[in-house]
Chains A and B, each alone.
Chain A
Amino acid sequence: MSTVLSLQSIGKAIAGYQILQNLSLDVQEHEFVAILGSSGSGKTTLLRLISGFDSPDSGDIQIGGQPVFGKGLNVSAEQRRVGYVPQDAALFPHLSVAKNIEFGLNKLSAAQRSERVSELLKLVDLVGYEDRMPDQLSGGQRHRVALARALAPKPQLILLDEPFSSLDAELRVRLREDVRNVIAKTGTTAILVTHDQEEALSIASRVAVLRDGGFAQIGNPSEIYQAPADVEMATFLGDSVIINGVIKDDKVVTDLGLLTPLNKVANGATGRVAIRPENFYLQPNPKGEGEVIGRQYFGHDALVEVKLPKLVIQARANGPFAPEIGMKVTVWVRGQVNFYTD
């Protein structure tokens, strides 16, 4: 497998603020990488540097093994062969669906162009929409056309800038599936930026978490979720209950009892433990130490607040079996936990 994109110690400041600092990333062929970050973390800036709309202050960029930015070199956006799907689709309002898709194909003959257009229309499931104008399309259709337009010239890399954020929840999930399938079918390497962790975890083969101008953690979705690199990551990616603990005989001594750490730890070390709400098990027990004091019901599951003698925890319980407010329970922790030394 070859490296499609290589970012080496990228730095970028905008209006005096250091947005990105010493940031590096390699993306391999056929990978689908999600860059996850809160708003203002520099996700979109990073995409614009890769696509060539903006230039970094420092660092090197290689695309398809060719340097496109570095010492004295800055290949312009139109020569980088990087597809781009922006947040609001940005279809050319004066061109029909077919004309939008074939916009980047002006080097091909008319026959080849129309063949490629019908290929793509089939791919994004919009056959019969060739002559529609952008204002006659629904939100999801516009995004599929934007995707087809970006894929038409067969770019080596495609960038998706929060492409689903303007859609409603149901459509977002469906379109996410569609996009993943289309990109997988074409074998295109893709980078998606998003602030939605569910989106990042569900669509990507690898997730890179952008924080304070650099990547705080890069890994496959389950690594990212189950083994956050630090306490901040544990709370940034979904909820976690954080409690203090001390290591004694390879176990973590906490207010919840003895827990088994996932990582290697030294005897006597103090630190904190992060436990996901779904890793608690609540056993109804009239003599239990815990008392249910809050309950948010979501249907498929419920978030239950349990008061223990020394702390309050939040646990996720299966919808039908979630204990009611006032019930006494015993709290168990399932599996191993992540221990972060102070």
Chain B
Amino acid sequence: MTEFGADKVIANVFRARSLELLANSVLLAASVSIAAVAVGGFQAWLTARTSIKGRAVFAILAALPLAMPSYVTAYSFTALFGGFKGFFAAWLVLTIGTAPYVYLAVSAALIRSDAATEEVARSLGSGRWRVFSRVTWPTIRPAAVSGGLLSALYSLSDFGAVSILSFDTFTRAIYGAYRSSFDRSGAASLAAILVVLTVLLLIVEPMLRGKEINTDARVRRSSQIQLGWFTPVAVALASAWAFVSLAIPTFSLIRWNQTGLSQVDLGEVTRALINSIGYAFGGGLIAVVFGFAVAILTVRWRSKVTVAFDRTMWLTHAVPGIVVALALVFLSNRLLPQIYQTSTLVLIAYLILFLPNAIAAMQTPISQAPRALDEIAASLGTSRLQTIRRVLIPIAGPGILAGAALVSLSVLKELPATLLLRETGVETLATRLWNETSVSAYAAAAPYALLLVVVAGLPAWLLNRQVRQSVRFDLNSRMERE
């Protein structure tokens, strides 16, 4: 620890610059999470509970922005509007990126909840507002609060969008400090504050979220609210948001690709695509191998140790990518200089960043394979390893594969860790987009943006489908059991 000492870090932490960054980051995280809950919650309620025409269309429009990584959205806005920078820009772009998550979580909660309880409340003389606050809100509160928190974490750890939109938060400042100076204590101190902030959010979340309410799935019934005079207002609001969040970025992408595609260097694009796929495949593969092992442990052999492991995993998930990358730079410099700036280090970063996603993606299919089948296999004399091979993998296999694909695709669009750790000379789609955008070469960046949307669109579509199916699946499994 000769490179920096504790006194230096403390001096850095309490500088005026840190306070400014803290104010910016907190302001952004808070405003994005409030806006995301408002937008996503409204969309969920509108599509799940009201009788407006075109609900199915609005449902798709609400989830569609998931297909665009937030740095691509940021790119598409700046490319179209020259002065699109600063707090408002970052707030808008991140709200566009996070509202769909809130929308999915809240609409799943709304679909799960029993509309008959609302009707009973109304028959007992409660007005609309009272029904919402006393009956509806308690059932969707955990989803809404978790969605809000997720949005805040997303805003804190986002690097690409805030950097492209020149709004100074911790992530952007960490990158700047890292690039501009050989003394990396500045970057490290900022990263330390950011981690503390993240952990604080994680601690506060369960208190805010409230208790999960178990609804009786068998009597689920939906009733539709007639909006009356509010219909045109609701349609206008939903359409306006769709215009801002989808039409503008899409228009920008198409416009810049008209020039971009004609002057593009196809070899360059192909190389970036191949590198991206290589990284995604490698990162996806190791995340899936480790994820499968951990998921089996946490689902099938639940003990205090595996539960603790499960929890800490989610802690690392909340740590911003740029912080993980920075930590790996320090560590590899100290311990294993030979892997610094090699693809090995990039893969290690991916493993840390995406292992929780891989585990989550695999826990669902594994836990859906009934435990009773394992026990039957054991009673027939089958060992545990054989049971995994003969029972678990055949049943959970398709789900596991889908999870693996999902993780690989999210690895593909990763920006900060790739940017910091990649081998010299290796460019991926994300880093090419970043390079071109940072020199305002919007036309040259356009093909990469387009490819990234295509690539990100697939996991977004899968996620959307998964949420919808899990609601239905839940119902099915209950109906069989009862």
Question: Is A42 located at the chain interface by the 8 A CB criterion?
Answer: no
Query: Chain A residue with minimal CB distance to B390?
Result: A103
Q: Which of B370, B376, B383 is close to A84, meaning CB atoms less than 8 Å apart?
A: B376
Query: Chain A residue with minimal CB distance to B384?
Result: A78
Task: Provide the bound-state CA to CA distance between A52 and B374, in Å.
Answer: 12
A90→B378 contact, CB < 8 A: no
Query: Chain B residue with minimal CB distance to A84?
Result: B379
Which residue among B370, B372, B379, B382 has the maximum number of chain A CB atoms within 10 Å of its CB? B379
Query: Chain A residue with minimal CB distance to B375?
Result: A53
With A93-B395, A94-B394 already in contact, the answer to whether A78 and B383 are too (CB < 8 A) is yes
Which residue among B377, B380, B382, B395 has the maximum number of chain A CB atoms within 10 Å of its CB? B380
Residues of chain A from 77 to 105 with CB closer than 8 A to chain B in the complex: 77-84, 86, 88, 90, 92-95, 103-104
Q: Which of B380, B384, B395 is close to A104, meaning CB atoms less than 8 Å apart?
A: B380
Question: Is A276 located at the chain interface by the 8 A CB criterion?
Answer: no
Question: Is B56 located at the chain interface by the 8 A CB criterion?
Answer: no
Q: Which of A77, A92, A107 is close to B379, meaning CB atoms less than 8 Å apart?
A: A77
Query: Chain A residue with minimal CB distance to B378?
Result: A77
Interface size classification for chain B: 10 to 19
CB distance from A54 to the nearest CB of B (A): 10
One digit per residue, 1 when the CB lies within 8 angstroms of any chain B CB and 0 when it does not, for chain A 135-156 equals: 0000000000000011011010
Question: Is B381 located at the chain interface by the 8 A CB criterion?
Answer: yes
B372→A88 contact, CB < 8 A: yes
Query: Chain A residue with minimal CB distance to B480?
Result: A88
Interface size classification for chain A: 20 to 34
Question: Is B373 located at the chain interface by the 8 A CB criterion?
Answer: yes
Task: Provide the bound-state CA to CA distance between A21 and B186, in Å.
Answer: 64
A153→B394 contact, CB < 8 A: no
B391→A92 contact, CB < 8 A: yes
Question: Is A6 located at the chain interface by the 8 A CB criterion?
Answer: no
A78→B395 contact, CB < 8 A: no
Q: Which of A78, A86, A149 is close to B378, meaning CB atoms less than 8 Å apart?
A: A78
With A78-B383, A86-B372, A88-B372 already in contact, the answer to whether A94 and B377 are too (CB < 8 A) is no
B372 contact set on A, CB distance < 8 A:
86, 88, 90
A83→B381 contact, CB < 8 A: no
A194 contact set on B, CB distance < 8 A:
none
B395→A94 contact, CB < 8 A: yes
Task: Provide the bound-state CA to CA distance between A53 and B381, in Å.
Answer: 13
B370 contact set on A, CB distance < 8 A:
90
B395→A150 contact, CB < 8 A: no
CB distance from B91 to the nearest CB of A (A): 48
B382 contact set on A, CB distance < 8 A:
78, 103-104, 106
Residues of chain B from 328 to 379 with CB closer than 8 A to chain A in the complex: 370, 372-373, 375-379
B380→A90 contact, CB < 8 A: no
Task: Provide the bound-state CA to CA distance between A147 and B190, in Å.
Answer: 65
A106 contact set on B, CB distance < 8 A:
382
Task: Provide the bound-state CA to CA distance between A77 and B394, in Å.
Answer: 22
Task: Provide the bound-state CA to CA distance between A81 and B395, in Å.
Answer: 25
Task: Provide the bound-state CA to CA distance between A20 and B193, in Å.
Answer: 54
CB distance from B200 to the nearest CB of A (A): 33
A77→B375 contact, CB < 8 A: yes
A80 contact set on B, CB distance < 8 A:
379
CB distance from B18 to the nearest CB of A (A): 48
Tally the A-B contacts, defined by beta carbons under 8 Å.
63
Question: Is A51 located at the chain interface by the 8 A CB criterion?
Answer: yes
Question: Is A76 located at the chain interface by the 8 A CB criterion?
Answer: yes
Q: Which of B381, B383, B391, B480 is close to A81, meaning CB atoms less than 8 Å apart?
A: B381
CB distance from B315 to the nearest CB of A (A): 28
B381→A79 contact, CB < 8 A: yes
CB distance from A80 to the nearest CB of B (A): 8
A152 contact set on B, CB distance < 8 A:
380
A78 contact set on B, CB distance < 8 A:
377-384
B380→A103 contact, CB < 8 A: yes
B381→A150 contact, CB < 8 A: no
Query: Chain B residue with minimal CB distance to A152?
Result: B380
A149→B394 contact, CB < 8 A: no
CB distance from A84 to the nearest CB of B (A): 4
Task: Provide the bound-state CA to CA distance between A14 and B282, in Å.
Answer: 45
With A86-B372, A90-B372, A90-B373 already in contact, the answer to whether A150 and B379 are too (CB < 8 A) is yes
Q: Which of A51, A93, A95, A153 is close to B381, meaning CB atoms less than 8 Å apart?
A: A153
CB distance from B401 to the nearest CB of A (A): 15
Task: Provide the bound-state CA to CA distance between A107 and B370, in Å.
Answer: 25
Task: Provide the bound-state CA to CA distance between A78 and B379, in Å.
Answer: 5
Task: Provide the bound-state CA to CA distance between A207 and B379, in Å.
Answer: 24
A149 contact set on B, CB distance < 8 A:
376, 380
Task: Provide the bound-state CA to CA distance between A110 and B382, in Å.
Answer: 17
A82 contact set on B, CB distance < 8 A:
379
CB distance from B255 to the nearest CB of A (A): 50
A83 contact set on B, CB distance < 8 A:
379-380
Task: Provide the bound-state CA to CA distance between A95 and B380, in Å.
Answer: 15
Task: Provide the bound-state CA to CA distance between A80 and B379, in Å.
Answer: 7
CB distance from A276 to the nearest CB of B (A): 35
With A93-B395, A94-B394 already in contact, the answer to whether A104 and B373 are too (CB < 8 A) is no
A51→B380 contact, CB < 8 A: no
One digit per residue, 1 when the CB lies within 8 angstroms of any chain A CB and 0 when it does not, for chain B 386-419 equals: 0000110011000000000000000000000000
One digit per residue, 1 when the CB lies within 8 angstroms of any chain B CB and 0 when it does not, for chain A 104-147 equals: 10110000000000000000000000000000000000000000
CB distance from A63 to the nearest CB of B (A): 12
A53 contact set on B, CB distance < 8 A:
375, 378
A51→B395 contact, CB < 8 A: no
B481 contact set on A, CB distance < 8 A:
88
CB distance from B302 to the nearest CB of A (A): 13
A104→B391 contact, CB < 8 A: no
CB distance from B387 to the nearest CB of A (A): 8
B376→A86 contact, CB < 8 A: yes
CB distance from A183 to the nearest CB of B (A): 16
Task: Provide the bound-state CA to CA distance between A53 and B390, in Å.
Answer: 19
A52→B378 contact, CB < 8 A: yes
Task: Provide the bound-state CA to CA distance between A270 and B377, in Å.
Answer: 56
Residues of chain A from 8 to 62 with CB closer than 8 A to chain B in the complex: 51-53
CB distance from A50 to the nearest CB of B (A): 10
Task: Provide the bound-state CA to CA distance between A92 and B393, in Å.
Answer: 12
Task: Provide the bound-state CA to CA distance between A51 and B372, in Å.
Answer: 12
A76→B376 contact, CB < 8 A: no
CB distance from B52 to the nearest CB of A (A): 38
Task: Provide the bound-state CA to CA distance between A187 and B370, in Å.
Answer: 31
B391 contact set on A, CB distance < 8 A:
92
CB distance from A241 to the nearest CB of B (A): 36
Task: Provide the bound-state CA to CA distance between A107 and B391, in Å.
Answer: 17
A107 contact set on B, CB distance < 8 A:
381
Task: Provide the bound-state CA to CA distance between A88 and B479, in Å.
Answer: 13
Name 27 interchain pairs, CB-CB below 8 A, sorted by A.
A51-B375, A51-B379, A53-B375, A53-B378, A77-B375, A78-B377, A78-B378, A78-B379, A78-B380, A78-B382, A78-B383, A78-B384, A79-B381, A83-B380, A84-B375, A86-B375, A90-B372, A92-B373, A94-B395, A95-B394, A104-B382, A106-B382, A149-B380, A150-B379, A153-B380, A153-B381, A155-B379
Chain B residues with CB under 8 Å of chain A are: 370, 372-373, 375-384, 390-391, 394-395, 480-481
Closest 4 CB pairs of A and B: A104-B380, A77-B378, A84-B379, A90-B372
Beyond the given A78-B380, A104-B382, please list 10 additional residue pairs across the A-B interface where CB-CB is below 8 A.
Answer: A52-B378, A53-B378, A78-B377, A78-B382, A82-B379, A84-B375, A88-B372, A94-B395, A103-B377, A104-B381
